[in-house]
Amino acid sequence: MLNFTSDYIEGAHPRLLQRLIDTNMVTQVGYGYDDYCQSAKEKIKDACQCPEAEVHFLVGGTQTNTTVIDSMLGIYEGVVACDTGHVNVHEAGAIESTRHKVIPLPNHDGKICPKELEAYLYDFFNFQDAAHMVNPGMVYISFPTEQGTLYSKEELTQISAVCRQYHLPLYVDGARLGYGLMSSECDITLPELAKLVDAFYIGGTKVGALCGEAVVFTKNNAPKGFFTIMKQHGALLAKGRVLGLQFDELFTDNLYFEISKHAIRMAELVKQIVTEKGYEMAWHSPTNQQFIKFKDTDLERIKEHVKYEYWEKCGPEYSVVRFATSWATTEENVLKLREIL
Amino acid sequence: MLNFTSDYIEGAHPRLLQRLIDTNMVTQVGYGYDDYCQSAKEKIKDACQCPEAEVHFLVGGTQTNTTVIDSMLGIYEGVVACDTGHVNVHEAGAIESTRHKVIPLPNHDGKICPKELEAYLYDFFNFQDAAHMVNPGMVYISFPTEQGTLYSKEELTQISAVCRQYHLPLYVDGARLGYGLMSSECDITLPELAKLVDAFYIGGTKVGALCGEAVVFTKNNAPKGFFTIMKQHGALLAKGRVLGLQFDELFTDNLYFEISKHAIRMAELVKQIVTEKGYEMAWHSPTNQQFIKFKDTDLERIKEHVKYEYWEKCGPEYSVVRFATSWATTEENVLKLREIL
Amino acid sequence: MLNFTSDYIEGAHPRLLQRLIDTNMVTQVGYGYDDYCQSAKEKIKDACQCPEAEVHFLVGGTQTNTTVIDSMLGIYEGVVACDTGHVNVHEAGAIESTRHKVIPLPNHDGKICPKELEAYLYDFFNFQDAAHMVNPGMVYISFPTEQGTLYSKEELTQISAVCRQYHLPLYVDGARLGYGLMSSECDITLPELAKLVDAFYIGGTKVGALCGEAVVFTKNNAPKGFFTIMKQHGALLAKGRVLGLQFDELFTDNLYFEISKHAIRMAELVKQIVTEKGYEMAWHSPTNQQFIKFKDTDLERIKEHVKYEYWEKCGPEYSVVRFATSWATTEENVLKLREIL
Amino acid sequence: MLNFTSDYIEGAHPRLLQRLIDTNMVTQVGYGYDDYCQSAKEKIKDACQCPEAEVHFLVGGTQTNTTVIDSMLGIYEGVVACDTGHVNVHEAGAIESTRHKVIPLPNHDGKICPKELEAYLYDFFNFQDAAHMVNPGMVYISFPTEQGTLYSKEELTQISAVCRQYHLPLYVDGARLGYGLMSSECDITLPELAKLVDAFYIGGTKVGALCGEAVVFTKNNAPKGFFTIMKQHGALLAKGRVLGLQFDELFTDNLYFEISKHAIRMAELVKQIVTEKGYEMAWHSPTNQQFIKFKDTDLERIKEHVKYEYWEKCGPEYSVVRFATSWATTEENVLKLREIL
């Protein structure tokens, strides 16, 4: 049985596991003060070309979004996000559980539109009864988005400019950052991205690690007390070494980017096979998640051989499903799709 | 340099690492629905002799306490705990961050006294202006406590009886549960403990795992929506397999208890050497944390050779420090203390 | 200068003031246990024909919505509301500040559509990844709505039926309840409304009182600890008599309904004059708030003589403004509009 | 039946009621922007000799404490208070419901000790594991305290100095401020108090108003977004005029202080009669609350003629009860105690 359900169905890249084994009995202090965390932080700052950045390691994505957003907002402020944004839909109200509203803007292929963001902010501060409303306090975007789409450099530059005009920090959820940056359609580099935003996280869980996300406050702008806030949010790992080690290895010899590139190549191969076979992509995704429209009757047959993620119904006879690739996807398995589909 | 700072200075027990390696490329569903989690849950229920229990795996201790306590309290209720309890002191206000007060009772060697608990509850419900006050909604204790001490079976039975009389659930923080149960002074078994309490967690992070805590709701009494609440608290690991696998191995062939027993043996050896050398224990601890009173001038010398945890000042010339042992402590290293102290 | 800005620009109905004066030096216990509160509760239960109801008095609308909603939801649940609902827009995130998401449904003239509510719930529980999402825990509607519109008895019956099917309590924000019930287009009575819903509040602030809202849990279903929850939310008035007295008077000799009817008559007169004068209603409102579309150039002139609430821009040359009437509006003042408009 | 239960058993001072009547039909904008609020704010700033102060009107005490404290703390900070402080005991966890811990210091006659405050802060920042703990973010005291006691000018000066040394704002709960300032033992004036603290509130509810508390941020230091935060906390009254009018009158011709002085005179008379009659004061209170130790058998007789507040049991045969006076207490009624006791 093939399995393209998601990008977190295997363990970790073997090089990360090897590091865990090699260092297992070396004693280290806890809570992220270990040598591996320090080394990983330096490598990440180098990769981002942000010498003044502050880097912290957290365990998972929802936890990271919640901790960062809660730490950056005033109590009467909310976070502006796409209506399809992960924080608005699939985090079980984690943001609200810290007392902050997610202020939704309409999505266009999973993205907010810079002009609509500007229009919303202009209207809010000029025409709305702002004192009786949740104030926009920061902007959240995902790169890539939950639909696998990407913001262009131009779009990111515009969103960043709007944010600066209104003095709102811009934060990027990079749960699948590597798969975004390594897309053939991506026209922005990691340092360029880091320059445009105030904070972002580099996803580890979905890009080769057992768990772990690296938050980067790009401009020496980590919120006051962030370490304590991590502890308060249950996001501070006692054995911080586990996170540090993995990111240290991911940012050694470009591993993070190499394995991301592999996943993209596999995703393109999936797309090629799917379209060869006459199926239709539900929408265009240039990253590791491919969304395909199948007849429900075809799915009945296909699911005997392949596991995938059911996405949504699409008219009476069709459904959209997701095929995700990752660092762990083998070309051999993708090629088997030729026979199965 | 020897290191007795804490019980989380190494990685994981080699058998756990080996399981991670062996299963690394096996595909599994996420979020705790994988085969390893299922298997581990069964083994834990067996070990607790609680067939009707519900088991969940979370990542760390503060996160676990917060998620469980938040899920078990009404919004006008607080959790009764020892003033020295971890939730009251060293979790950066995580409990309060979910809107609940920690209601402190005085500690006696790190423990609440059953009679004082009863007196507090009796007074609260009979003489206090309860409608204007945070209502006690559950009771939290640690086993072992933060000072390394243990409740006796008699004490636990009394606390449990008081809780039942007042219809308050009893929850045990078992961050170091193994080290408590394997103490030579422990007179209660895991199944007996499980019977007396409504929920507890079996600590993995400090007892051989990279990370991970297993919450056991002992009586088919998991709060409604607990899975979603875990997600909301950032406590749901995408690669839940990492937690499941480790607990599956810890509860195979008694590993959890064997390694705990080893740590206790090492702690007793530490105590023996320390007292041989004429130093005084700060207080009696029958578990893996030993608290020793040293002259500050002696500490100056000792810290050149051994790392320990500074605990507190104790008069003008003395200090208390903690030596912790764990599954990873070697007899060879403990014996070296003979020459150093 | 005429003033139609809102329904809270004067003090209280003279009969309420008189009661405050008459009873001023009578000593009474605090916190809502006074004689006036008890009497008012009985009168309200009679008016609602809900002998088993539980009534509580709070101070203001946002406070009431927040206290009630927070008390009725589990921590992983949110409140379903219209996107234009007061709780979603104009309460400064009060609901979120208690950790609950407002789940917006599209509005149709300020109302949710029973069929869309049902479709949303059906989809949520059948097709969505509900365990990773905020669960709908109750439904909030306003009667009248923020746009002055009214649900019909048929609509309310359908919404109530959907709620019961999905075991969700239905809660009605009645900040302007009197103005809704006394509308000539209202086809439901207070007892009928009370029967269809689980909780609602009878607005005092906008219907003749200095302040005060009466929450009615219609079916002996007040949440556990509601009194303490009121205290926790800062919603428990020490001199509860102030609220009790006013509601006691409002529910004596039908005062609440008489003054509401008067406001409706004044609103109809406003509408009549406005349309006589050739202006256009922005939308149809059968209650005490009338929304009128004016040319911006006309408004320049009008605002020299009348205060109104600016609502929104409406194309390049027009704006919508609100004229509100209340118990305090005089026919004389309304008739003056004939000359001014 | 006499009634000395509390200082909120009557309505409002007649001059306040008269103002409500006189202005009842004058139209005013809502939410505290009315003329009366503006006028009252100026009078309060004058009385405090704080031209740069910012004044806001809220409805009740718990609400005021919660809104102010929540607005002044970072999310990882708590408020230091006396263990007997109102925020720690009798506000149903309102502070915690905004995610902040109350950090208790031991009370001495209801007061924190400046030296103990300093010692706690010194220890916290020098010896504790501060990054894993709730950080002290502000200091809360009551003037007078819940036990009726008063800080001396010297004590307040010392506490203020400690707060400034540690950059912590000092906030005073003045629910009964007038009764403190008018005590014959009070050695500090309102302007002196205002100078020493960062924020405080002038209690209205217990000192002559129907409801209402005036928060004063003394140094142009109102937290960003405070108005919106009031709204979010349900503390923004639509008819703000009701609060403004009352404070405007209270600060006209010294009314606030005159009625407070009267209450103190009545309290001293109570004390005189009680001691004449051979009863013992439970502790010394120089303000409007007198705490008396009675034999339980005496209380049986007394309670047939006088209502009081039961405070606490005090040994097997005795109890402490509270007699409170207020602006509304008559000398005639106090003198009747001579025959009754």
Q: How many CB atoms lie within 10 A of CB D300?
A: 10
At C86 the pLDDT is: 97
Q: Nearest CA to D234 among C95, B282, A252?
A: C95
Q: Nearest CA to A83 among A129, A146, A167?
A: A146
Distance CA(A27)–CA(A234), nearest Å, equals 23
Q: How many CB atoms lie within 10 A of CB A275?
A: 12
CATH code of residue A186: 3.40.640.10
Q: How many CB atoms lie within 10 A of CB C105?
A: 20
Kindly indicate the confidence band of residue B31, based on its pLDDT and cuts at 50, 70 and 90: very high
At B167 the pLDDT is: 98
pLDDT tens-digit readout, C66-121: 999 999 999 999 999 999 999 999 999 999 999 999 999 999 999 999 999 999 99
Chain A CB contacts of D228 under 8 Å are 76, 130-133, 135
The model carries a pTM of 0.98
Kindly indicate the confidence band of residue C127, based on its pLDDT and cuts at 50, 70 and 90: confident
- Please report how many Cα atoms fall inside a 13 Å half-sphere around the Cα of residue A314, on the Cβ side: 17
Q: How far is A157 from chain B (nearest CA, A)?
A: 31
Q: Are residues A206 and A333 in the same domain?
A: no
Q: What is the mean pLDDT of residues C284-302?
A: 97
Identify whether the C-beta of residue A90 lies closer than 8 Å to the C-beta of residue C129: yes
pLDDT tens-digit readout, C162-188: 999 999 999 999 999 999 999 999 999
Q: Nearest CA to C3 among D183, D30, B243?
A: D30
pLDDT tens-digit readout, D58-97: 999 999 999 999 999 999 999 999 999 999 999 999 999 9
Q: What is the mean pLDDT of residues B33-57?
A: 98
At C56 the pLDDT is: 98
Beta-bridged to residue D340, according to DSSP, are none
Beta-bridged to residue B64, according to DSSP, are none
At B135 the pLDDT is: 98
Q: Nearest CA to D247 among D74, D107, D46, D100?
A: D46
Reply yes or no on whether the pLDDT at C248 is more than 90.
Answer: yes
- The distance from CA B339 to its chain's CA centroid, rounded to whole angstroms, is 32
Q: Are residues B159 and B262 in the same domain?
A: no
Distance CA(D248)–CA(D214), nearest Å, equals 11
Distance CA(D244)–CA(D102), nearest Å, equals 31
Q: Nearest CA to D289 among D312, D261, D313, D270?
A: D270
Contact D210 C239 (CB under 8 A): yes
CA C112 vs CA A227, C69, C105, C117, C142: distances in Å: 44, 18, 7, 7, 10
Report the residue of C75, C125, C227 to disrupt the B interface, i.e. the one with the largest count of B CBs within 10 Å: C75
The answer to whether residue C33 neighbours chain B at the CB level (below 8 Å) is: no
Structure token digits, residue C328: 């305090």
The answer to whether residue A207 neighbours chain B at the CB level (below 8 Å) is: no
Q: Are residues C300 and C245 in the same domain?
A: no
pLDDT tens-digit readout, B301-327: 999 999 999 999 998 999 999 999 999
Q: Nearest CA to D236 among D248, D244, D228?
A: D228
Distance CA(D197)–CA(B48), nearest Å, equals 56
Distance CA(D34)–CA(D244), nearest Å, equals 8
At A127 the pLDDT is: 81
Reply yes or no on whether the pLDDT at D33 is more than 90.
Answer: yes
Q: Are residues C167 and C46 in the same domain?
A: yes
Helix or strand holding residue A61 (H, E): helix A61-72
Q: Are residues B128 and B56 in the same domain?
A: yes
Decide: helix, strand or coil at residue A219. coil
Structure token digits, residue A321: 């499903």
Q: Nearest CA to D180 among D149, D215, D210?
A: D149
Cis peptide before C144 (omega within 30 of 0): yes
- Boundary (domain end) residue, out of D220, D255, D290: D255
Q: Are residues D297 and D319 in the same domain?
A: yes
DSSP string, C303-316: TTTEE-EEEEE-SS
Predicted ipTM?
0.97
Kindly indicate the confidence band of residue C44, based on its pLDDT and cuts at 50, 70 and 90: very high
Kindly indicate the confidence band of residue B127, based on its pLDDT and cuts at 50, 70 and 90: confident
Mean pLDDT, chain B, as a whole number?
A: 97
Query: Into how many domains does chain C fold?
Result: 2
Report the residue of D1, D2, D7, D9 to disrupt the C interface, i.e. the one with the largest count of C CBs within 10 Å: D9
- The single-letter code of the amino acid at C320 is V
Structure token digits, residue A102: 């997610």
Identify whether the C-beta of residue B180 lies closer than 8 Å to the C-beta of residue B190: no
CA D29 vs CA A341, C60, D89, D238, D240: distances in Å: 68, 16, 37, 9, 8
Structure token digits, residue C191: 């007892």
pLDDT tens-digit readout, A235-288: 999 999 999 999 999 999 999 999 999 999 999 999 999 999 999 999 999 999
Q: Are residues D233 and D265 in the same domain?
A: no
- Boundary (domain end) residue, out of A231, A254, A277: A254
Q: Are residues C86 and C187 in the same domain?
A: yes
Reply yes or no on whether the pLDDT at C290 is more than 90.
Answer: yes
Q: Are residues A231 and A131 in the same domain?
A: yes
Distance CA(A92)–CA(A97), nearest Å, equals 9
Q: How far is D34 from chain C (nearest CA, A)?
A: 9
Q: What is the DSSP letter of A223?
A: P
Kindly indicate the confidence band of residue A128, based on its pLDDT and cuts at 50, 70 and 90: confident
Identify whether the C-beta of residue A97 lies closer than 8 Å to the C-beta of residue A66: yes
Domain span at residue C209 reads: 14-254
Q: What is the mean pLDDT of residues A163-184?
A: 98
- Boundary (domain end) residue, out of D191, D223, D255: D255
- Helix, strand, coil shares of chain A, percent, nearest 5, are 40, 20, 40
Reply yes or no on whether the pLDDT at B94 is more than 90.
Answer: yes
Reply yes or no on whether the pLDDT at C43 is more than 90.
Answer: yes
Q: What is the mean pLDDT of residues B246-272?
A: 98
Q: Are residues C222 and C299 in the same domain?
A: no
Distance CA(C254)–CA(C236), nearest Å, equals 26
Reply yes or no on whether the pLDDT at D128 is more than 90.
Answer: no
Reply yes or no on whether the pLDDT at B13 is more than 90.
Answer: yes
Reply yes or no on whether the pLDDT at B129 is more than 90.
Answer: no
Identify whether the C-beta of residue D274 lies closer than 8 Å to the C-beta of residue D4: no
Contact A99 C96 (CB under 8 A): yes
The answer to whether residue B133 neighbours chain C at the CB level (below 8 Å) is: yes
Q: Are residues C163 and C215 in the same domain?
A: yes
Q: Nearest CA to A181 among A154, A143, A209, A148?
A: A143
pLDDT tens-digit readout, A185-207: 999 999 999 999 999 999 999 99
Q: What is the mean pLDDT of residues D188-196?
A: 98
Contact A234 B62 (CB under 8 A): yes
At A85 the pLDDT is: 97
Q: Are residues D64 and D194 in the same domain?
A: yes
CB < 8 Å from A in window 74-103 of B: 91-94, 97-98
Q: What is the mean pLDDT of residues A24-49?
A: 98
CATH code of residue D298: 3.90.1150.10
